[in-house]
Amino acid sequence: MAVTRREFMMASGALACGLALGSARAQTAAGLKKLKLGVGLKSMSPIVINLVVGEILGYNKAEGLSVTTQALGTNANVQVAVDRGDIDFGVGVPSFGLPVLSRGEWKQSVNFYEYTYPYKWDVAVLPKSDIHSYADLKGKRIGVSGFGATDYPVTRNVLQSMGFDPDKDFKWVAVGGGVPAGVALERGQIDALAYYDVGFGLIESAGLPFRLLPRPPKLPLIGGQFLETRRERMEKDKAEVIGVGRAVCKASQFILANPKAGALAFLRMYPEAAPRGSSQEQAVEAIYKAIGRRIKLYVPPYPHAKMGSINVKEFETEAAMNHWKIADYSPFYTNDLIDAINDFDPAKVRSDAMNYR
């Protein structure tokens, strides 16, 4: 799905409000460089847990940094904010960036760390639904969290790879994210819900029933998510960019070693993420369930690849599926910082995680 000029203009207009809503929770200290990281969410969610808990765990501070995370609403908003320099770092999403690259308009930004690898999306139906495969979805109403979210273009791509026409064979319905998406499915407002791993975890924690359809064979490895920044920052503040990547890499290792400790750290930063009326133990369990599917995707699915390294085949596959003609991907990403980002003692991070209280 290409992002039109009009959509980018609309995203630009939405930034002024979104940038004013940055989290005030970051524990800053004198002498730390303060940076802003944008995510394409309407409110903070454990989907980005490994991007944010480095602040409370001290990993940002160890790099001389304090990072404030801002929920900017959509991935397009984030892309515009990074390109304009309104934020220092953002979440890069190929389904929004590759069309820009194919038009020869990609100029300012570069993806330098893959913090979540493919594949994280599924399609769910009610337990008693007569839909049992992706092929059974033809003619049905498929819910997505929103048309500016990644679950929409990625699911379209998968169905298109199976020979369907995404525009003619299905009706797409925006139902919102989190529990409201599960409610829409339960109430029959949609026949199926295309959503991501952490989102399904939140729905499951709320006690709403669903059944995941079996994934089609040869599922394309697309839909990874990345840290991106302006190329100018890469050149002038290289150590700073490495520091942000290293903090995320450490946080990912921490969560992998002790997911419940990661959940507790996230709740200390964002206590409103706890289910209403829950105890701390119940809240930690809810976040743990939400991230259970996601944390496996912190590790590259490629043999001998270092955490955070980017495989260009993901971009090539997505471009081919959408008929985007791209001759050179080098302006879009770099692996030049991966060795430096991974230059820390993972055993020490794992030990910290196991002893976290």
- Would the pLDDT of 9 be above 80? no
- Per-residue pLDDT, 321: 82
Instruction: Return d(Cα 350, Cα 94) in angstroms, integer.
Output: 31
- Per-residue pLDDT, 26: 40
pLDDT bucket at 67, cuts 50 / 70 / 90: very high
**Are 154 and 222 spatial neighbours (Cβ–Cβ below 8 Å)?**
yes
- Per-residue pLDDT, 18: 45
Residue-wise pLDDT for 197-243, tens only, equals 888 988 988 889 999 999 988 788 888 999 999 999 999 999 999 99
- Would the pLDDT of 161 be above 70? yes
- Per-residue pLDDT, 98: 94
- Would the pLDDT of 19 be above 80? no
| Per-domain boundaries in the chain | 5-118+223-354, 121-212
Residue-wise pLDDT for 276-329, tens only, equals 889 999 999 999 988 988 899 999 999 999 999 999 999 999 898 888 999 999
Share of the chain above pLDDT 90, in %: 71
**C-alpha count within 13 angstroms, C-beta hemisphere, residue 186:** 12
- Per-residue pLDDT, 3: 47
Residue-wise pLDDT for 163-203, tens only, equals 999 999 999 999 998 899 999 999 999 999 999 888 898 89
Place of tokens 């230059």: 343
CATH number assigned to the domain with residue range 5-118+223-354, chosen from the 4 options 3.90.1150.10, 1.10.1740.10, 3.40.50.300, 3.40.190.10: 3.40.190.10
Residue 212 identity: L
- Per-residue pLDDT, 30: 61
Instruction: Return d(Cα 141, Cα 171) in angstroms, integer.
Output: 5
- Would the pLDDT of 29 be above 60? no
305 burial level (CB within 10 Å; 0-12, 13-18, 19+): middle
pTM to 2 decimal places: 0.80
Instruction: Return d(Cα 132, Cα 357) in angstroms, integer.
Output: 44
- Would the pLDDT of 334 be above 70? yes
CATH code for residues 121-212: 3.40.190.10
- Per-residue pLDDT, 221: 87
- Would the pLDDT of 101 be above 70? yes
Per the prediction, the chain carries an average pLDDT of 90
